[in-house]
């Protein structure tokens, strides 16, 4: 298969993919990969395969294609191709919750001296790196990366990147409990979709609606949360977007738990858990298990709550997710206080404070901890943040 035919077949695959015929598109692209003698065409088709597998939540396959793409980039001896392939490798690891590897591949990208094309990728590299730091609960570094990605987006007038960064910032502020900002950023993303997103994939709309749903739930606006989550789920189901389906199911479950409707919450947590397990989203599993634990606590089933905590703790430790561990120690503290088990209670109080210190979650002004309750925060140019009050 020569250069022209390769190009034609890649376009054919893209056309099929955009009209929701994903499996057919994958067959066309795999045939190109087997038959094409054009290394640049092979590189491009690998990029298509990586994107498609990412959107379906087939992250292990995504990683395999990213490794092959690096070999192809080396064969082409082109620094721009090499940067792009390392970014794909970083993103594959980010999706598989291998956060340390993600950070090190992102650093490799930033150290490569390519042309202007590579520099345009730096925004995406910074975003992926920020997501990885957020997975490790290294909040200050995460914020630095997101702000850098936002600067790249503004300088290159890249609205799609800006939209993705806004969704990540929504997630960031939801975690440290500034719920006003957790809502502001995905609303900004939704605005970008409305103003510029005519030709974009619907996943951008779906992602912004999902992050809005999370913020609305945290603010206690449950009807608004439900509306946004339903909108997001509809798109996720249309496009076979398994990762987003899992997140929406988790959000639905959390909304029902907030309404104290545990019986409706449990099956949604179960469905979310089975997709998260299938795709390898271990960080998502920690969130699901936290929700399940809180349901058992509502039902006063404290031993079952402790079983869920134990599973979540093992996952959070494996990932290095310090915020997950902090939340789990906090729940243990409540359970052991209720049970009157003083020694275990003291143990978890100590571990809770160790987590707070490790994450440096203290306000630089008043010294109180950040992220205990909904509070408006302000970030300094150095990415340290403090209570707005």
Residue 324 lies in a domain: yes
Predicted pLDDT of residue 364: 63
- Res. 259: pLDDT tops 80: yes
- Res. 369: pLDDT tops 80: no
Predicted pLDDT of residue 368: 66
- pLDDT tens digits, one per residue of 206-255: 999 999 999 999 999 999 999 999 999 999 998 889 999 999 999 999 99
Q: How confident is the model at residue 149 (pLDDT cuts 50, 70, 90)?
A: very high
- Res. 25: pLDDT tops 90: no
For residues 360 and 182, the model is more confident at: 182
**Per-residue H/E/C for the chain:** CCHHHHHHHHHHHHHHHHCCCHHHHHHHHHHHHHHCCCHHHHHHHHHHHHHHHHHHCCHHHHHHHHHHHHHHHHHHCCHHHHHHHHHHHHHHHHHCCCHHHHHHHHHHHHHCCCCHHHHHHHHHHHHHHHHHHHHCCCHHHHHHHHHHHHHHHHHCCCHHHHHHHHHHHHHHHHHCCCHHHHHHHHHHHHHHHHHHHHHCCCHHHHHHHHHHHHHHHHCCCHHHHHHHHHHHHHHHHHCCCHHHHHHHHHHHHHHHHHCCCHHHHHHHHHHHHHHHHHHCCHHHHHHHHHHHHHHHHHCCCHHHHHHHHHHHHHHHHHHCCHHHHHHHHHHHHHHHHHHCCHHHHHHHHHHHHHHHHHCCCECCCCCCECCCCCCCEEECCCCCEEECC
Residue 136 lies in a domain: no
Q: How confident is the model at residue 288 (pLDDT cuts 50, 70, 90)?
A: very high
- Res. 381: pLDDT tops 60: no
Residue 382 lies in a domain: yes
Average pLDDT, the chain: 89
Mean pLDDT lowest among 6-10, 40-44, 271-275: 6-10
Residue 354 lies in a domain: yes
43: left (phi over 0), alpha (psi -120 to 50) or beta: alpha
- Res. 175: pLDDT tops 80: yes
Q: How confident is the model at residue 6 (pLDDT cuts 50, 70, 90)?
A: confident
Residue 27 lies in a domain: no
* pLDDT above 70 coverage of the chain, percent: 91
- pLDDT tens digits, one per residue of 32-91: 878 887 888 889 889 989 988 998 889 999 999 999 999 999 888 888 888 999 999 999
Residue 363 lies in a domain: yes
- Res. 142: pLDDT tops 80: yes
pTM of the model: 0.91
Structural domain containing residue 340: 309-388
Predicted pLDDT of residue 112: 80
Predicted pLDDT of residue 287: 96
Predicted pLDDT of residue 367: 63
- Res. 388: pLDDT tops 70: no
Q: How confident is the model at residue 185 (pLDDT cuts 50, 70, 90)?
A: very high
- pLDDT tens digits, one per residue of 295-334: 999 999 999 999 999 999 999 999 999 999 989 998 999 9
Predicted pLDDT of residue 363: 64
Residue 329 lies in a domain: yes
Predicted pLDDT of residue 2: 72
Predicted pLDDT of residue 17: 80
Residue 317 lies in a domain: yes
Domain count, the chain: 1
Residues 6+ apart with CB under 8 A from 349: 329, 333
Q: How confident is the model at residue 21 (pLDDT cuts 50, 70, 90)?
A: confident
């Amino acid at each position: 298969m020569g250069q022209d035919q390769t190009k034609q077949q890649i376009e054919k695959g893209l056309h099929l993919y955009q009209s929701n015929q994903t499996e057919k598109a994958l067959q066309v692209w795999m045939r190109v990969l087997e038959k094409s003698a054009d290394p640049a065409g092979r590189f491009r088709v690998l990029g298509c395969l990586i994107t498609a597998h990412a959107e379906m939540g087939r992250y292990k396959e995504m990683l395999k294609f990213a490794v092959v793409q690096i070999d192809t980039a080396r064969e082409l001896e082109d620094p721009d191709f090499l940067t792009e392939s390392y970014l794909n490798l970083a993103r594959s690891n980010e999706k598989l919750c291998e956060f340390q590897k993600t950070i090190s591949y992102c650093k490799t990208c930033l150290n490569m001296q390519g042309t202007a094309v590579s520099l345009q990728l730096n925004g995406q590299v910074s975003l992926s790196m920020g997501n990885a730091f957020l997975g490790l609960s290294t909040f200050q570094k995460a914020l630095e990366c997101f702000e850098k990605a936002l600067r790249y987006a503004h300088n290159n007038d890249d609205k799609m990147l800006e939209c993705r960064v806004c969704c990540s910032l929504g997630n960031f502020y939801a975690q440290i409990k500034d719920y006003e900002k957790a809502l502001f950023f995905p609303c900004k993303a939704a605005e970008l979709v409305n103003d510029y997103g005519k030709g974009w994939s619907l996943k951008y709309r779906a992602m912004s609606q999902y992050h809005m749903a999370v913020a609305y739930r945290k603010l206690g606006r449950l009807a608004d949360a439900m509306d946004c989550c339903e909108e997001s789920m509809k798109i996720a189901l249309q496009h076979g977007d398994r990762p987003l389906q899992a997140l929406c199911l988790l959000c639905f479950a959390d909304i029902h738990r907030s309404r104290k409707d545990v019986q409706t919450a449990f099956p949604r947590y179960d469905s979310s858990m089975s997709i998260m397990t299938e795709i390898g989203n271990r960080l998502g599993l920690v969130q699901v298990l936290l929700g399940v634990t809180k349901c058992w606590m509502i039902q006063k089933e404290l031993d079952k709550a402790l079983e869920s905590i134990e599973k979540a703790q093992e996952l959070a430790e494996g990932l290095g997710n310090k915020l997950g561990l902090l939340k789990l120690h906090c729940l243990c503290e409540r359970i052991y206080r209720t049970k009157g088990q003083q020694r275990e209670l003291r143990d978890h109080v100590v571990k809770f404070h160790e987590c707070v210190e490790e994450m440096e979650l203290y306000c630089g002004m008043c010294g109180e901890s950040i992220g205990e309750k909904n509070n408006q925060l302000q970030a300094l140019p150095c990415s340290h943040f403090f209570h707005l009050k």
